[in-house]
Structure 1
Amino acid sequence: MKYRLKRLSEQVIVITGATSGIGLTTARKAAQRGARLVLVARNEDALKQLNFELTKKGSEVLHVVADVGIEEDVRRVARSAVERFGGFDTWINNAGISIFGRNEDISLEDQRRLFQTNFWGVVYGSLAAVEHMKEQGGAIINLGSEVSDRAVPLQGMYSASKHAVKGFTDSLRLELEADNLPISVTLIKPAAIDTMFVEHAKNYMEVEPKLPAPIYAPEVAADAILHAAENSKRDIFVGGAAKFVSATAHYAPGLMDSVMKRFMFKQQQTSIPARDRTQNSLYNPGSDLQQRQGYSGHVFESSLYTKASYHPKTIATVLAAGLVIAAWWRLRETAPSREEPDRAYLPEDGQQEMPGASYASY
C-alpha cells in the first residue's frame, strides 16, 4: 500500500543512534535538505555538539538523551517531539550494537542487553510512532541488515536480533495496512557499512574483529533511509551484496551454509590481538561523532543496485550485473590480503569524508 509522504523539507524526523555511523550521516543529510530533527542517543556531550553544529547551519534541532532499550525513555522522546514541534512525520529506529564471538562463549546478560537495544528499541520506537501517526500518517523506518535474511557465525545474537526486527516490522506493516492507517513501514537492509560498528561492538574473540567485504559508505545507507522517508517502500537493500546474500540464502541455503563455514569465520577476524574486552558500547556510549571508522580497503561510495531499486521498472536491467559484482567481491576476500591497520592509526573524523557501522549500525 502506497502513502503520500511529505518532502523532507516539510518533515520533523526522529533519529535514534544519531551520534554515530549511519544515524549521524542521516542526520547531517536530512538537515542539509531542510528537515527539522529530533536527535536521540545515550551520549549527551555528542548530542550537544551535533545540535550546535546543525543549529549553527540553520537547522531546527532538538536532542534527547535516551536509551532506546528503556520504554519510558522512548516515550519521553515522543513527548518531547510533540512539545517542541507539535509532532513528527518520520521515526527512524537506527540504534544498534553487536557482539563478536561464538554463541556458547557470550554471557546471557550480554545477549539480553543486545536484544534490549536492537529489538526492543525498535519495538518501543515503532509503537510510540504508531500511537502518534494514526491520524496524520507518516513513515516508520527500521534498520535491519543483510543478516535479517541470512545469519552469520560469530555474530549469532546480532543476526537473531535482526531476524526479529524483520519479523516485527513485517507483522506491524500488515496490521497497519489491514486497518487502512496512512503509515508507511520500511525495513532497511544494509550490507557491511564503514561505520563505528566494529569499534562499538563487544568482542569475545582473541583477535580484533573486522567486517567482510564488500564495504559500503554510510552515505549509501543514509540516502536509502531518506528515500524511504519521502517514498513508501516495503524494504530497501543497501548494496548489491545485501541482495545477493538474501537471494542466495533463499534459493540455495545449503550452498550458503557451505560458503559461510568455509570463509565467514576468517573474514570476520584480523591477526591483531584483541583489546580489553571492556572497551565497547554495549552498556555505555562510546566514542561518537564519527561517521566512518576508516576501512583500509575499498569502500563503495554508491550502489547501482540500491539506486535502481528506487525505480522498479529499471531494476531488472541492473540486477544481474549487481549480483555478479557482489559475488566477485565476496569471493575476492578469500584471497590473501593485508590486515587492517591498528585502530591507533585510524583516521579521525574530519580527516576524510565522514565516518559510521557495518553489517548494519545500523
Structure 2
Amino acid sequence: MDRRNFLKRSALAGTGLTALAAPAVAQGNITWRMVTTWPKNFPGLGVGAQRMADRITAASDGRLTIQVYSAGELVPPLQSLDAVIDGSAEMSHSAAYYWQNKSTALTFFTGVPYGMTTGELSAWVRQMGGQEIWDEVYDQFGVQGFLSGNTGVQAGGWFRNELTGLDDVQGLRFRTPGLGGQVWEKLGASVTNMAAGEIFQALQAGTLDAAEFVGPYNDLALGFHQVAKNYYFPSFVEPGLATELVVDKAKYQALPEDLQLLIRDVCQAEYDQVSADFVANDPRALQTLVNDHGVKVLQFPEEIVKAGADAAKEILTGLRDSGDDLTKRTAESFIEALKILRLRTEGTDAPFVEARRKYFEI
C-alpha cells in the first residue's frame, strides 16, 4: 500500500478536537463512541477496531451502536484512554502499555520483553487470574479492559544503519514504547514514544535513527522502508502484543446483561481474528518489502539479544520486588503464569517448529 495514499485516506486530525453530542439514547437504543489510537483503515489494528464496532452493532440489532473515531478525529491518539475516563467517549481501542504513566502494571497487558506469546497471554488473562488483577488496576480509573487483538511476535524495528553490537546502540534515537523501551534504554538508546502517524515524519526528518511499530503488515502501509532499509527480526521486547478495548465501567455495568456479554465475547473473537490477520498478512507484506523495495532483513547480534534478556530480567524482578502493590502483584501473577506456560511453548511447540523447519518441505 502506498504510504501517501494510505495516510491521505486516514485523515489524521493531529490534535484537533471535534465537538460531538452526548451518546444518543432513543427507544431503548444506545450509541457509544469508540476512540482509537490507530489511523483510519489501518491494517490489522484500525480495521480490527472498526470490525469490532460493526459486529457489536449488528449482533445487538442496533440496540448498541458503536461509532468509531480514528486517531485525531475526536482526541489525539495517545489521549484515547483519558477520553473514556473523562466521559467524552465510552470506549477506547488501543494498547495498555501506552498508559504506563498511570500505572506500570498496565504494561503487562500489552507486551513484556521476553514475556508471553499470543497464546500464553490469552491463557494468563482468561484462565490464570490475569483479568481479575487487570480489573483491579483499571478500577482506579473507573474503566474496564478487555483483550481485543494480538499482533503476534513483532519485528525488531527499522534502523538507518546496521547494528554490529552494543556500541552501535549508544545514543541511538529509537521510537519504542512500554517496558521494551526501558530495555533499550538500559542498552544505551535514547527512547521516545509517538503515535503511528507521527513516526515516518520523525524518521524522515532525522529526529529518529530507528523505529519499531508492529511488523511488515503495518510497516509497509506506514512507509518506513522509504527511509530505512535495515529491518531487524524478531523483536525480543514485543513477543505478543495485545490490544485492548476499554469501556466506561459504570456505563458498561448499566447495560443489559446480554449486551455486556456481547461486548466481552466480541472482544474474545476479535483477539483471535486480529491474530489471524497478522499471521496471514505479515509474510506477504514482508515479501513485498524485500522483493519490491530492497529491504534487508537482519537479525540482532547475539550481544544485543543477550544484553536485552539481562535488562528485561532486571526490570521485571525489580517491578515484582519493589513496585507499588498492584504492580508487584501483577508482576508476580505474570511471572508465575509464564513459568508454567513456557513449559508447553518451549517443550512442545518450539521443538515441533524446529523439526518442521529442518525436515519438512512440501
How high is the TM-score relative to the length of structure 1?
A: 0.29
How high is the TM-score relative to the length of structure 2?
A: 0.29
Structure 1 or 2: larger helix share? 2
